[in-house]
Chains A and B, each alone.
Chain A
Amino acid sequence: MTKPILIVGGGPAGLAAAHSLATVGRASVLVEKEDKLGGAPILSGYAKLVPSGEWAKDAIGGMVQRVESESLVQVETGATVTSFDGGPGDFSVELSSGSKFDAEAAILCSGFTHFDSVNKPEWGFGTYPDVVTTTQVEQMISSGQGVRCPSDGRKPQRVAILLCVGSRDRQIGREWCSKICCTVSANMAMEIREELPDCHVYIYYMDIRTFGLYETKYYWRSQEEFKVKYIKARIAEVTSDGEKLIVKGEDTLVKRPITIPFDMVVHAIGMDPNVDNPDIANTFGIDLEPHGFIGSANTYGSMSQTSRPGVFVAGAATGPETIDDSIAQGHAAAMAVLSGLREAMGQTA
């Protein structure tokens, strides 16, 4: 009898991996530390997803339902893996819930952690209530409440979105580009302009990285159809004059200092390595890459391998990743597991 495959993390990548394995008749155990599946898009209450424009609760919710109704997937929520021993084809797994089982392989889909803006105190988060994160604005939109200043519930007249908060910043040890925030911010700016047409939205950027086809769909469209303004400046500090937030920086294009009043400042927060990564690396005996994400062997012959044979990785656990690519990687990791098992059984052609 074949053993199940262990999948760690019930976000887009983990859900995709579980579905793929079930499709080819392989059993899996999906372990999720939170009490429900869906990962960041569900747990953090994202609104409409890029690039489909579908609500997260519908799109990712659909993936959750599909996995939950699948008899070949055993879902273990509110649990973590506490011990993992053995070799490819014959691992023994122990969960925090106490249950033990054997597994042929493991796929780590343990995702990321949102950057905590408190680590950039000069940008006012935690000091001024109207300084918020992209995640908070997502929640304002997805809850149906609408975009409002948390201090008094008023509709903002002018909103600043600061890019690269927790990304590309050696001062706080985060040198990577978080990849998705430019596109998310452009999308959010359009959503704000759509809900509040009299509200002016300014995006402060170092570079705009709305890669690939997102260029026209988000960057150009936000400018051309929604008149969002992009200003090349990395903001020095966010303060307050008691009434409005004051954004200070240098407008690099006119080479002049700026102190502009705003009603709301949004931090486009980046993607940190999952805070649990050191524990995960320890438990699974795998290497992390220098930034703290899970290291993946990027070979052309096989995807998704970690430093330990039989342990695979997919999605934002490997570094900042989009939802779509995380899903693709989840499917790819499932395929990599199957092809690894086939090789182990000497069935290679």
Chain B
Amino acid sequence: MPIHEKSLIRPENLKTHDSLILDGVDVSGHWSTFIESRVVADYNEAIEDEIAALPGGEHIHRCWQCGSCTNSCTVNAINPDFNPRYWIYLIRMGMESELLRDKDIIWQCVSCNKCTYACPRDVFPEGVMKATSHWLELKGHTPKSPSMHFDEVFTEQIVKTGKIEESRTIRRFFQRTNQGLLQDWMLEMVKQLLRGLPIGLLTRMGLATFVAPRTSNWSRASAAMQEYIDEQHEKQEEALSLAQLVKAAQEDVAA
């Protein structure tokens, strides 16, 4: 829903007291329903910097709130609450609680990149969406999304072997997302494969399932890639102060 059509009063901001006496006057019951203040009392400059430290979020500070991204958005057409323009603003002004209200839909970006081509300032809103869902995961606000699991499985395999072996990718993806391997469509696909493909190809596919194919002399490339990835992760953890976050959480548990 466009912002201007949103109700200013949200149910969770209504406070009712069963019994309340103000200056000697009994205002219990529905007379004592109050609305929590909507006033923004401060900005938090840190969140923009954190999002900007993640891949895709680098250009968030360019946004001038024209709304081209939201207007061109594939997901917004289906779910009007999916509003990249609004989220970019919340991040820039540091309105974290407001952003977290939408944490369960931000990851739904389908990366169609229509916004990338509509944005007059090269903010790369699609990248910002990616960075934001990543941020939500790293900060522990949301569990890892299925697409993040897939990206990880895919990347790990490339780094390790230099090749993609699809059945392995699928198996690991199902495993990490707690899905059973023997799904109806999967069984049907295997049946069709067995029926339609030449024996030689089937044999090779079968072998690859057990012995992962590797690019020859891959170890040096693999090590270089892993080093870069570790470096990037370290930087991101530092930018997001994750160590402090973990420490604070541990202290909370201990207390």
Contacts and interface: CB of A to CB of B under 8 A. Distances in A.
A113 B40 CA distance: 37
Contact of B90 (A223, A254, A257, A260): A254
B98 A258 contact: no
A223 B45 CA distance: 14
B45 A253 contact: no
Nearest to B48: A227
Interface in A220-248: 220, 223-224, 227, 229-232
Contacts of A229: 92-93
Contacts of B228: none
B40 A259 contact: yes
B3 A259 contact: no
B39 interface: yes
B42 interface: yes
B235 to A, nearest CB: 19
Contacts of B92: 229
Contacts of A255: 3-4, 6, 8
Given A223-B64, A224-B62, A256-B39, 19 more contacts: A220-B121, A223-B61, A224-B121, A231-B93, A251-B93, A253-B3, A254-B89, A254-B90, A254-B95, A254-B98, A255-B4, A256-B38, A256-B40, A257-B38, A257-B39, A258-B39, A259-B39, A259-B41, A260-B40
A260 B89 contact: no
Contacts of A200: 43, 45
Interface residues of B, number: 23
Nearest to A219: B64
12 contacts: A202-B43, A223-B61, A224-B62, A227-B61, A230-B64, A253-B65, A253-B89, A254-B3, A257-B40, A258-B40, A260-B40, A261-B42
A254 B92 CA distance: 12
Nearest 9 Cβ contacts at the A-B interface = A258-B40, A257-B39, A227-B61, A256-B38, A224-B62, A256-B40, A200-B45, A259-B39, A259-B41
Contacts of B64: 223, 230
A230 B88 CA distance: 13
Contacts of A253: 3, 65, 89
Interface in B24-65: 38-43, 45, 61-62, 64-65
Contacts of B38: 256-257
Interface in A167-211: 200, 202
A251 B6 CA distance: 15
Nearest to A248: B39
Nearest to B63: A223
A140 B86 CA distance: 37
Nearest to A226: B61
Contacts of B6: 255
Nearest to A208: B64
B121 A232 contact: no
Interface in B64-108: 64-65, 86, 89-90, 92-93, 95, 98
Nearest to B85: A253
A256 B9 CA distance: 11
Nearest to B86: A254
Contacts of A259: 39-41
Given A253-B89, A255-B3, A257-B40, A224 B65 contact: no
A158 B94 CA distance: 14
Interface string B1-31: 0011010100000000000000000000000
A219 to B, nearest CB: 8
Interface centre among A227, A251, A255, by most chain B C-beta atoms within 10 angstroms, is A227
A224 B59 CA distance: 8
Contact of A223 (B4, B62, B98): B62
B75 to A, nearest CB: 20
Contacts of B86: 254
A182 B5 CA distance: 31
Nearest to A257: B39
B49 to A, nearest CB: 9
A61 to B, nearest CB: 37
Contacts of B61: 223-224, 227
Contacts of A158: 43
Contacts of B39: 256-259
A228 to B, nearest CB: 9
A259 B4 CA distance: 21
A255 B86 CA distance: 11
B45 A232 contact: no
Contacts of A256: 38-40
A112 to B, nearest CB: 30
A220 B92 CA distance: 16
Interface in A244-286: 251, 253-261
A298 B206 CA distance: 86
Nearest to B61: A227
Contacts of A220: 62, 121
A220 B64 CA distance: 9
A220 B122 CA distance: 11
Nearest to A246: B41
Contact of A260 (B4, B41, B65, B121): B41
A153 to B, nearest CB: 24
A151 to B, nearest CB: 21
